[in-house]
Amino acid sequence: MIEARGLGCGYDSRFALKDINFKAAENELLGIIGPNGSGKTTLIRAITKIIRPQCGRILLEGEDIDGMEFGELARKMAVVSQGCDTEFDIPVEDYLLLGRIPHRKAFQFLETERDMEIIQRAMDLTDTARFRKRSLNKLSGGERQLVFIARALAQEPRLLLLDEPTNHLDIAHQVKILDLIRRLNRENKITVLIILHDLNLAGEYCDRLMLMDIGGVHKIGRPEEVLTYQNIEQVYKTIVVVEKNPVSAKPYILLVSEEERARKQSKTERSGHKNK
Amino acid sequence: MSQKTFALLAWILVLGAILIVVVLVSLSLGSVNIPLGRIVEVIFQRKGSVEHSIIFDLRMSRILLGFAVGSSLGLSGVILQGMFRNPLVEPYTLGISGGAALGVCLNIVLGVSKIGGGLSLPLSGFLGALGVILMVYFLSARKTFRIQGLLLTGVMISFIASSLIMLIMAVSRVEELQGIIFWIMGSLEESNWFLIITMLLVSLAGLLVAYLFCFDLNALALGEEEARHLGINVERTKRMLFILASLLTGCSVSVAGIIGFVGLAIPYFIRLLTGIDYRFLLIGSFLAGGAFLILCDTLARTVISPLELPVGVITGIIGGSVFVYFLHTGPQQLFRKT
C-alpha cells in the first residue's frame, strides 16, 4: 500500500531521516514509535508531500507520490495531524464538509447528496453526529479528536495517517479512539499508519510496529519482536521491564523511578554480600 | 438544498437589497433632491432633461465607480485576510497603495499629466502599483511563497513609498501639492466613462476568478499544511490569489486614490455575520464593499453640501466608529476569533 525506498529527507540541508525503508501492506495497522526527535512526524510530512525527499522514493499503491497531484493524493489518503487548529469556530458539520474538497468537480459549488451521505456515515462511524451543529472550539479534547478523524474519513481514504491521536486524552478516550481506528482498519479496510507515544497502546493495537531511532528505522516487526527491553533501552536510553498483558498476551512495558532502581540495586548488592 | 446554503443565499439577497436601496437613495440625494418615486420615470422617460443629466452624468457615474472600487477593495481584503489568516491584513498592507501614490506624485511633479491628458494619472498610479507588486513578489515569493516575509516586505515598501512621497511633497510647488493631496485623499469623481466601465469589468472579473478559489480559501482557513492534506496546491493558490488581490487593489487605487477602511472592515464584518465559508464571503464582501462605498460617497457629497468631503474621511470616520463601538459594546462573542 505505502512503501518507502531509501528515503532521505529533512529540513534545510541537514538530513533528519536517512535511508528509511519500510512497507505497510494493504489493510495493515502499522504503528510508528520512537523517542521525540527521531523523525516520526517528519516521515509523515514526507509521505504527505509537505516536504520533498532529498533521495529515495515513496510509493503509494506502487506509484511514486512525487508525480502525483495533491488532489489525487488527498483522494487516496487522509491525515489527522497534531497541528489541527483547535480554536476554529466552525460547526462540526461544515468542518466535515471540508473533507469533501478533494472530491469536488470543477465548478461544483454546492454539496451533493452523496457528500451529505458520506459525512453522515463518517459521523456515524465516529459517533459524532450528536454534536454536528456545535462549534469545533466548544468541544472537549476527546470529542474534537473524533471530529478530526471523521473529517479524514470524509475524504474516503484508503490510507489513513495519524500523528499521536491520543495525545492529551484520558484513558477512556485513548481506548475509544484506538478501538475506532482498529475497527476502521478491520471492517472498512483502511490501511493505517499511526504514530503513538504510548508503547503499551502501540503494542496492544498495532499489527506491526516500526521503532525509529534518531533519523532511522531501528526495527520493524510484530509488537513482541519490537517491544523487547533490549530494543527499548537501546533506543530510549531508559531502563524498563517488559511483562505480558494478562488478557491480550501482548508485551507490556513498565517504568521504574530512579529511587526504586537505586533501592533495588542496593538490595541486590546487600544480598550479594550475604551470599558471600 | 441544505439549510446552511439557504441561509447564505438569504444573506446574499439581503445584501443585494441593501445595495439597491443605497443606490436609489444615492441617486435621489444631492444638491438637487429628486424624489425616489420619480427616479425610474426620469431614467426611462425624460432623456435630455436636467434631472436626467444629473442622475446619469453626475450621480450614476459616481455610483458605478463607487461600486466597482468598493467591491474590488472588499474582495481584495477578504482574499488577503483569508490567505494570510490574519484579520488585520488589508489591501493596502502590501504597499500597493504606496506605490500607486508614488507613481501619481511623480506624474504630477514631472508635469506628465499636462501632456498626457486625463488618463495619465490613473495610468501612472497603476504603473506604480504594478512596480510594487512585482517588487514584493520577486523579493519574497520567487522560490517559495513565504507569507510572513511577503507581509513584512509589503509593510516596509509602504514606509519607503510614503517617505518618498513626503520628500516629493516637501520640494514641490503649491499647486502641485494640492493635486497630490487631492489625489491621495481619494475621490470617486471621474468623468471618463471608459475608466468607469473598465473598473467595473475588473471588479466583476475579479469576483469570477476569486470564486474559482473559494474552496482553496476554505481549506486554507485550516492552515497551509492542513490545506495540502486536503489536496490543495497551496503554493500555486497563494501566488494566484496574491496576484489577483494586488491587481484589484492596484486598479482601485489608481482610479480612485487611497480610500481606506473598506478592505479592512467589510470582510471582517461579513465574516462575523456568517462564519467562514468563502463561497459566501467572496460575494458578501463584494456586495457589501460596493454598497458601503456608495453610501459613504453619498454622505461625502451631501453632508456639507455644496462643499464636498473626501470620501476616505467618511469611510474612516463611520466605519472606524462602528467598528470600535462593536468591538467594545456589541455582542462580544462575535469578535473572539475569526
Mutate to test the interface with B, among A68, A101, A156 (most CBs of B within 10 A): A101
Residue of A nearest to B335 (CA): A89
- Tens digit of each residue's pLDDT (9 = 90 or more) over B164-182: 999 998 988 888 888 888 8
Alpha-carbon gap: B261 to the closest alpha carbon of chain A (Å): 25
- Tens digit of each residue's pLDDT (9 = 90 or more) over A35-85: 988 889 899 999 999 888 888 999 999 999 999 999 999 999 999 988 667
DSSP 3-state of A160? strand
ipTM confidence score: 0.88
Residue of B nearest to A79 (CA): B229
Mean pLDDT in residue range A158-164: 95
Residues of chain B contacting residue A75, judged by C-beta atoms under 8 Å apart: 231
Highest mean pLDDT among A80-84, A260-264, B192-196, B279-283 belongs to B279-283
Tell me what pLDDT residue A271 has. 75
* Pairwise CB contact (< 8 Å): A101 & B219: yes
Tell me what pLDDT residue B337 has. 41
Q: Quick one: pLDDT band at residue B282, thresholds 50, 70, 90? A: very high
List the single range of B37-41, B213-217, B218-222, B229-233 with lowest mean pLDDT. B37-41
Tell me what pLDDT residue B335 has. 44
Tell me what pLDDT residue B199 has. 95
- Tens digit of each residue's pLDDT (9 = 90 or more) over A192-248: 999 999 999 999 999 999 999 988 899 999 999 999 999 999 999 988 999 999 999
* Pairwise CB contact (< 8 Å): B223 & A116: no
Residues of chain A contacting residue B4, judged by C-beta atoms under 8 Å apart: 93-94
* Pairwise CB contact (< 8 Å): A98 & B277: no
Q: What sections of B257-317 are H helices per DSSP?
A: 262-274, 278-302, 311-314
List the single range of A203-212, B73-82, B285-294, B308-317 with lowest mean pLDDT. B308-317
Is residue B12 exposed (0-12), middle (13-18) or buried (19+ Cβ within 10 Å)? middle
Residue of A56, A58, A94, A83 whose CA lies nearest to A73: A58
Portion of chain B with pLDDT greater than 90, in percent:
41
Residue B336 has pLDDT above 50, yes or no: no
Tell me what pLDDT residue B324 has. 84
The grid coordinates listed for B20 are 439597491
Residues of chain B contacting residue A90, judged by C-beta atoms under 8 Å apart: 275-276
* Pairwise CB contact (< 8 Å): A102 & B2: no
The grid coordinates listed for A25 are 501492506
A81 close contact with B: CB closer than 8 A: yes
Tell me what pLDDT residue B117 has. 65
Of the partner residues B4, B223, B231, the one whose CB lies closest to the CB of residue A85: B223
Residue with cell 531508559: A238
Alpha-carbon gap: A61 to the closest alpha carbon of chain B (Å): 18
Residue A17 has pLDDT above 50, yes or no: yes
Order of strands, edge to edge, in the sheet holding A2-9? A17-24, A2-9, A55-60, A63-64
Mutate to test the interface with A, among B229, B273, B335 (most CBs of A within 10 A): B229
Q: Quick one: pLDDT band at residue B331, thresholds 50, 70, 90? A: low
Tell me what pLDDT residue B308 has. 86
Residue of B nearest to A113 (CA): B1
pTM of the entire predicted model: 0.89
Contacts of B94 (CB under 8 A, 6+ apart): B80, B132, B133, B136, B150, B151, B154, B157, B158, B245, B246, B249
* Pairwise CB contact (< 8 Å): B231 & A48: no
Bridge partners of A55, per DSSP, are: A8
Report chain B residues touching chain A, CB-CB < 8 A: 1-2, 4-5, 211, 214-215, 218-219, 221-223, 225-226, 228-234, 275-277, 279, 336-338
Tell me what pLDDT residue B1 has. 54
> Residue B196: in which H helix or E strand, if any?
helix B193-211
The Cα–Cα gap between B103 and B245 comes to: 19
Largest CA distance in chain A: 86
A112 close contact with B: CB closer than 8 A: no
- Tens digit of each residue's pLDDT (9 = 90 or more) over B96-114: 889 998 998 898 888 776 6
Residue of B23, B121, B132 whose CA lies nearest to B71: B23
Of the partner residues A71, A84, A137, the one whose CB lies closest to the CB of residue B231: A71
Of the partner residues A70, A91, A104, the one whose CB lies closest to the CB of residue B228: A70
Phi/psi at A163 (nearest 5 deg)?
A: -110, 100
Tell me what pLDDT residue B46 has. 65
Q: Quick one: pLDDT band at residue A181, thresholds 50, 70, 90? A: very high
Q: What is the mean pLDDT of chain B?
A: 87
* Pairwise CB contact (< 8 Å): B221 & A79: no
